[in-house]
Amino acid sequence: MSVATPYFDRLFADNDDPWAFRQRWYERRKRALTLALLTRPRYAAIFEPGCANGELSVELAPRCDRLVCCDTAAAAVALAKTRLMGFPHAQVQQSRLPAQWPDGRFDLIVLSELCYYLDADDLTRLIDCALAALSDDGQLLACHWRAPIDGCPQTAAQVHALLEQRLAMPCVARHHDSDFLLDLWSRDGTSVATHEGLR
Query: Is residue 132's pLDDT more than 90?
Result: yes
Residue 77 confidence (pLDDT): 95
pTM of this structure: 0.95
Residue 93 pairs with which residues in a beta bridge? Answer: 70
**The domain at 5-195 falls in which architecture?**
3-Layer(aba) Sandwich (3.40)
Structural contact between residues 101 and 129, judged by C-beta atoms closer than 8 angstroms:
yes
Structure confidence by residue, pLDDT tens digits, 161-179: 999 999 999 999 999 999 9
DSSP letter for each residue of 127-191: HHHHHHHEEEEEEEEEEEE-S--TT-S--HHHHHHHHHHHH---EEEEEE-SSEEEEEEESS---
Residues in the chain: 199
Structure confidence by residue, pLDDT tens digits, 78-113: 999 999 999 999 999 999 999 999 999 999 999 999
Query: Is residue 149's pLDDT more than 90?
Result: no
Structure confidence by residue, pLDDT tens digits, 8-59: 878 778 888 877 788 899 999 999 999 999 999 999 999 999 999 999 999 9
